Amino acid sequence: MRSFDFSPLFRSTVGFDRLFDLLDSVPQYDTTQTYPPYNIERTDDTHYRITLAVAGFGEKDLNVEVREGVLTVQGKREESGEQGKTAFLYQGIAGRAFDRRFQLAENVEVRGAKLENGLLHVDLERIVPDEQKPRRIAINGADVKIIEGKARAA
């Protein structure tokens, strides 16, 4: 069991309590699940793409869904009567059902999904709200009042 001590970070950070709680609650995923293989790409500062290798699956066999910040990609091939009669001498193309889940960060939205050449591409975009965009803070100096008038003769 892995446990990290985040107490040194509390001294120099403000408002990251939720992040540390999320890191503590990350389940230990089964690392033996390798099907289907996938890539996660960053195309620019706000756009991402998840690509899954889904050879043998058609659009009707795949389901892409987002719920409560979790992107779920499921695949289940419909068995046709003809495939059931086929006897494989060697079957290297896996067609088994799968269920892949990806935890999305806040403000990340799915923009679309497309299937081409045996690859399922899911495009994501991070939407930065106006209140989270960098803004310049004006520094107010001491108010200096200039009084104009005539000097009195003494």
| Domains within the chain, CATH numbers bracketed | 32-81+89-128 (2.60.40.790)
pLDDT value, residue 82? 55
pLDDT value, residue 22? 60
- DSSP per position, the chain: ------HHHHTT-SS-HHHHHHHHT-----TT---S-EEEEE-SSSEEEEEEE-TT--GGGEEEEEETTEEEEEE-PPPPHHHHH---S---S----EEEEEEPPTTEEEEEEEEETTEEEEEEEE---GGGS--PPPPP---------PPPP-
pTM over 0.75: no
pLDDT value, residue 1? 46
Note down pLDDT in tens along the chain; length 154 residues. Answer: 456 666 666 555 555 556 666 666 555 555 556 788 899 998 888 899 999 999 888 899 999 999 988 899 999 987 665 555 778 788 777 778 889 898 888 888 899 999 999 899 999 998 877 777 777 888 876 665 666 666 666 5
pLDDT value, residue 146? 61
